[in-house]
């Protein structure tokens, strides 16, 4: 088998959607003649730990090497799962961090991971190194590994780096340094993987030396095995269950959706009383205060953060799913991984999204209802339209054939093909 060294800060037992892409890649790599070794974090304090993903990693028998730096999460390791702060506080500390750490505050971990990688590469033969980001400090630090060990370097963008919707540049120097760092990383990489076409376009536009073939799109996806393990909970009424799964932070908020539902409950109370709004993940206190202010408690079910398999069970137990992306600079390049988990359920999706990668992807889905993220009137009308279809048993269906291209095993096969091409070119 070929051997690949995988570098990933976010990895089980950590939770949330950013973890899954890398976990599923390494889980299925052995099916395609690639044996992964993962270098990741040790014990860190974090908002979410996922026992089901940790068990999946253990069952996969993937070799995992853990290192710890002096990043904030590592320093909070003794607290285990920490409470998610208010969004205003989180934003403040995030901006503070971006002011003093370039490219990010995980740089000390990236250096420790690189030292461990050097040690392994001196002892064993690996055919390639795969680095996923964020954090982009991993890209920055590992950009030197190709030159030092003459080994193919593949970088995987889960999000945009320079000009990101998450980025804060307090001075022109900060902005310039980020772009220069990314330039050097892209120059060093043998292959660049991105999750959507918008990221690809932005990279090629920002860095003229890149060609169309240098950047390969491998989307997020869903794991069919998760849907075999997860069991839907039987319904106890004929009310339409409308579910949101995930977290509200940075670029999304439930306020427009909740205000739209409030208007619906006033104008058509007979409809509203037959709808349940379920939230799986982090609804957060500030948003539940809005629920109370709007007097929607009787409609809202907050399940809190749950393990991944339980989250899938809630999705399968729903009649309709909802996602939201707010309007923000460069938000057109964001494509949440949870969208493909939604797609894996074959359930109808109400997508309140602006123009961009997410809108393109969800509009292609046969059972989608797309509307602007902040148009309360349009959101209300969309909920009503979906309810009427639900009531008459006419909600759109999705063919199994449509799902194949989003399966995690299929996506891993696409990745290993790119690796094979790279190895073949290196040999030649």
Residues 203 and 70 placed together within one structural domain of the fold: yes
Write the CA distances from 341 to 52, 63, 158, 350, integer angstroms: 16, 26, 16, 14
Question: Which tokens is 57 given?
Answer: 């990693």
Residues 265 and 153 placed together within one structural domain of the fold: no
How far is 402 from 365, CA to CA, in rounded Å? 8
What domain range is 263 assigned to?
224-403
Taking the mean position of all CA atoms in its chain, how far away is CA 89?
A: 22
Residues 147 and 262 placed together within one structural domain of the fold: no
Rounded to the nearest integer, the mean pLDDT of the chain is 93
Answer whether residue 316 shows pLDDT above 60. yes
CB 3 within 8 A of CB 30: no
Supply angle C-alpha 269, 270, 272, rounded to 5.
Answer: 60
Residues 216 and 250 placed together within one structural domain of the fold: no
Give me the pLDDT at residue 169, please.
93
The CATH number of whichever domain residue 244 belongs to comes to: 3.40.50.2000
Give me the pLDDT at residue 426, please.
63
pLDDT digits (tens, 9 = 90+) for 65-105: 999 888 888 877 777 888 877 888 888 888 898 899 999 99
Give me the pLDDT at residue 38, please.
98
Residues 276 and 197 placed together within one structural domain of the fold: no
Give me the pLDDT at residue 411, please.
98
CB 344 within 8 A of CB 403: yes
How far is 180 from 88, CA to CA, in rounded Å? 30
Residues 195 and 318 placed together within one structural domain of the fold: no
Answer whether residue 425 shows pLDDT above 80. no
Residues 310 and 327 placed together within one structural domain of the fold: yes
Residues 244 and 330 placed together within one structural domain of the fold: yes
Residues 420 and 325 placed together within one structural domain of the fold: no
Give me the pLDDT at residue 284, please.
86
- For the chain, what is the domain count? 2
CB 11 within 8 A of CB 43: no
Write the CA distances from 360 to 149, 265, 314, integer angstroms: 40, 31, 26
Residues 162 and 295 placed together within one structural domain of the fold: no
Residues 148 and 257 placed together within one structural domain of the fold: no
CB 38 within 8 A of CB 67: no
Parallel, antiparallel or unpaired: strands 349-352 and 368-371: parallel
Residues 412 and 292 placed together within one structural domain of the fold: no
pLDDT digits (tens, 9 = 90+) for 139-190: 999 999 988 999 999 999 999 999 998 899 999 999 999 999 999 999 999 9
This prediction has a pTM of: 0.94
pLDDT digits (tens, 9 = 90+) for 317-353: 999 999 999 988 889 999 999 999 999 999 999 999 9
Split at pLDDT 50, 70, 90, the class of 24 is very high
- CB atoms under 10 Å from CB of 79, counted, come to 11
């Amino acid at each position: 088998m070929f051997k690949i060294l995988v570098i990933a800060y976010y990895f089980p037992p950590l939770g949330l959607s950013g973890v899954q892409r890398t976990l599923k890649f390494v889980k299925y790599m052995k099916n395609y003649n690639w044996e992964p070794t993962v270098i990741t974090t040790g014990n860190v304090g974090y908002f979410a730990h996922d026992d089901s993903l940790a068990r999946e990693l253990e069952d996969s028998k993937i070799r995992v090497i853990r290192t710890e730096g002096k990043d904030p999460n590592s320093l909070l390791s003794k607290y285990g799962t920490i409470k998610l702060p208010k969004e205003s506080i989180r934003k403040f500390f995030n901006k503070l961090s971006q002011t003093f750490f370039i490219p990010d505050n995980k740089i000390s971990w990236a250096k420790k991971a690189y030292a461990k990688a050097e040690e392994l590469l001196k002892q064993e033969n690996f055919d390639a190194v795969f680095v996923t980001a964020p954090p982009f400090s991993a890209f920055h630090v590992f950009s030197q590994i190709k030159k030092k060990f003459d080994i193919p370097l593949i970088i995987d963008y889960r999000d945009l780096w320079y000009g990101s919707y998450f980025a804060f540049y307090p001075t022109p120097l900060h902005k310039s340094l980020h772009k220069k760092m990314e330039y050097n990383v892209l120059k060093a990489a043998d292959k660049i993987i991105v999750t959507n076409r918008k990221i690809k376009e932005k990279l090629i536009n920002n860095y003229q030396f890149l060609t169309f073939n240098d950047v390969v799109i491998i989307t997020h996806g869903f794991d069919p095995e998760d849907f075999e393990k997860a069991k839907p909970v039987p319904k106890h009424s004929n009310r339409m269950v409308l579910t949101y799964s995930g977290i509200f932070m940075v670029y999304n908020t439930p306020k427009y959706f909740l205000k739209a539902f409030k208007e619906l409950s006033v104008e058509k109370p007979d409809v509203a009383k037959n709808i349940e709004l379920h939230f799986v993940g982090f609804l957060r206190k500030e948003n539940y205060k809005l629920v109370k202010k709007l007097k929607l408690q009787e409609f809202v079910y907050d399940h809190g953060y749950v393990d991944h398999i339980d989250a899938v069970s809630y999705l399968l137990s729903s009649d309709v799913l909802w996602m939201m992306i707010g309007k923000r600079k460069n938000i057109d390049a964001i494509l949440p991984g949870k969208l493909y988990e939604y797609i894996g359920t074959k359930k109808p999706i109400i997508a309140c999204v602006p123009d961009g990668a997410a809108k393109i992807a969800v509009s292609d889905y046969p059972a989608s209802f797309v509307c602007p993220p902040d148009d309360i009137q349009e959101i209300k009308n969309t909920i009503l339209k979906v309810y009427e279809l639900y009531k008459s048993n006419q909600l759109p269906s999705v063919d199994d054939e449509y799902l194949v291209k989003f399966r995690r095993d299929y996506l891993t096969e696409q990745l290993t093909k790119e690796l094979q091409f790279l190895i073949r070119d290196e040999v030649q």
